Structure 1
Amino acid sequence: MDDAVLKTATETAWTVYRARHPDVEVSDSRRCLLERHLVRRREERESDAEELASFGIAYLHRLSSDEC
């Protein structure tokens, strides 16, 4: 998988999450956590951008506010 797939997945997941949570700033620390999570997922198994984005969205929804 190339970096373009990872970037697309990250952008998609972050855009969807922020659309559902308009109070979250663009530079929120959750974005960094999301990126790290998706890099690990990519290393664990081959995924396309859509599947990776869905993993990312689910991950963001599981984060508690004190983890951020």
Structure 2
Amino acid sequence: MDDVLKKATETAWTVYRARHPDVDASDSRRCLLERYLLTRREERQSDTEELASFGIAYLYRLPSDEC
């Protein structure tokens, strides 16, 4: 995982968990987030902030009963 992708994943996950303190750090949504951002990164060049915002939006779209 490159630095941009790693930082974006960390940022999105931190923001999401700050708003959802009941979500465990090792929750399966983290893995889903990483895969999603990797796909976004491969589709087009994105910076850390843009990827993080995509990640946050993605996490909010995930149904909680699916994870």
Which range, TM-score by smaller chain? over 0.9
Equivalent pairs counted in the alignment come to: 67
Helix, strand or coil for the counterpart of 1:54?
helix
Question: What is the rounded CA distance, in whole Å, between the counterparts of 1:67 and 1:10 in structure 2?
Answer: 20
Residue 35 of structure 1 corresponds to which residue in structure 2?
Answer: 34
* Residue segments in structure 1 that go unaligned for 5+ positions in a row: none
Residue 47 of structure 1 corresponds to which residue in structure 2?
Answer: 46
Residue 61 of structure 2 corresponds to which residue in structure 1?
Answer: 62
Question: What is the rounded CA distance, in whole Å, between the counterparts of 1:37 and 1:67 in structure 2?
Answer: 16
Which contiguous aligned blocks of 4+ residues in structure 1 show a shift greater than 4 angstroms?
none
TM-score (normalised: structure 1): 0.95
Residue 12 of structure 1 corresponds to which residue in structure 2?
Answer: 11
How big is the shift at 1:28?
0.3
* Residue segments in structure 2 that go unaligned for 5+ positions in a row: none
TM-score (normalised: structure 2): 0.96
Q: Identity over the aligned pairs, expressed in percent?
A: 82
